[in-house]
Amino acid sequence: MAVDITTNEVYWTERLESKIFKAPLRGANAVDPVTEVVSLDLVTPEVLVLDWIGRAIYWVDSYIDGQGNGLDGAPRIERVAMDGSNRTSIVTQDLAQPRAIVVDHPVGQESGCIYWTDAVYVYYF
């Protein structure tokens, strides 16, 4: 789960439904609509992070079921604009068990790097 502090929206992954959602961040008694941001071609979406500067969402699709068993397909790291457009696979090879993602923007620059950990390796892109 991650919060976009510029729009006060919360984003999260749902493994059982294989989707990424967002909703306005409001008080506990507020009832706001939930929006599907990504709902197609996800297997096990996890580890979501927001890039407030680049207005993008990054996540890991681990291809691991609830019992820790690998599923058919390869793990990947993907990116999509916060409105759900322009989905791109960022890393599709040489991933064993990706776990955490961080977005880093050097001060004064619009582009930056993503870093992630893997249960087997540590990479950066």
Band of pLDDT at residue 26, cut at 50, 70 and 90: confident
Q: What is the CATH number of the domain that holds 118?
A: 2.120.10.30
Contact 47, 59 (CB under 8 A): yes
Domain that holds residue 45: 2-124
3-class secondary structure, 23: strand
Q: What is the mean pLDDT of the chain?
A: 82
Q: pLDDT digits over 59-90, tens only?
A: 998 876 555 555 566 888 999 999 999 999 99
Rounded distance between C-alpha atoms, residue 122 and residue 24, angstroms: 34
Tally of structural domains, the chain: 1
- Give the distance, in angstroms, between the CA of residue 9 and the centroid of all CA atoms in the same chain: 15
Band of pLDDT at residue 29, cut at 50, 70 and 90: low
- Give the number of other Cβ atoms within 10 Å of residue 122's Cβ: 8
